């Protein structure tokens, strides 16, 4: 049972290699924070093309790579599509509560800025 999901493989940092500074830097970009927020509310995996960001496709690819290389998301090919998912398990293990608090803070700010 070799469970081949795809042929192309993408480099991810191991759990112990994830650095807090890199995670914070990754999330300090509005575009990337938005991506992570959508991934969190969905809960599962989303394709790159699902996101409708106000930047070109090239730039979107760049942001996804920053998120992956910092250890925030996991990316895997499925056919021609590339699925993206939060590394919730790893992040919660390394930094308990961080992801949740961060998402809460982002939601709070979004409500404050965009809300009535």
Partner DNA sequence: CCCGTACTACGAGGTTTATCGTAGGAGCAG
Partner DNA sequence: CTGCTCCTACGATAAACCTCGTAGTACGGG
Using CB under 8 A as the criterion, which residues of the chain lie in contact with a copy of itself when the complex forms? 16, 19-22, 24-25, 27-30, 33, 94-98, 101-102, 104-106, 108-109, 112
Angle at 54 between CA 24 and CA 12, to 5 degrees: 40
Q: Does 7 bind DNA (CB under 7 A)?
A: yes
Q: Does 3 bind DNA (CB under 7 A)?
A: no
Sheet containing 73-78, strands listed edge to edge, beginning at the edge strand earlier in sequence: 46-47, 81-86, 73-78
Residue from the set 61, 96, 104, 111 that interacts with DNA by CB under 7 A: 61
Nearer to DNA, 69 or 95 (CB): 69
**What's the sign of the alpha-carbon dihedral 58, 47, 115, 33?**
negative
| Distance separating alpha carbons of residues 43 and 88, to the nearest angstrom | 10
Residue from the set 66, 86, 91, 102 that interacts with DNA by CB under 7 A: 66
| Distance separating alpha carbons of residues 97 and 55, to the nearest angstrom | 31
Q: Which does 43 bind (CB under 5 to 8 A by kind): a copy of itself, DNA, none?
A: none
Q: How far is the CB of 21 from a copy of itself (least distance, A)?
A: 5
């Amino acid at each position: 049972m070799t469970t081949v999901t795809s042929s192309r493989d993408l480099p991810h940092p191991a759990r112990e290699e994830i650095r807090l500074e890199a995670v914070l830097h990754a999330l300090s970009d509005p575009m990337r924070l938005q991506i992570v927020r959508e991934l969190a509310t969905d809960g599962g995996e989303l394709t790159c093309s699902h996101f409708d960001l106000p930047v070109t496709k090239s730039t979107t690819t760049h942001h996804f790579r920053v998120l992956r290389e910092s250890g925030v998301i996991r990316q895997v090919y499925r056919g021609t599509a590339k699925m993206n998912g939060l590394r919730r398990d790893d992040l919660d293990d390394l930094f308990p509560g961080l992801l949740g608090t961060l998402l809460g803070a982002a939601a709070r700010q979004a409500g404050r800025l965009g809300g009535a």
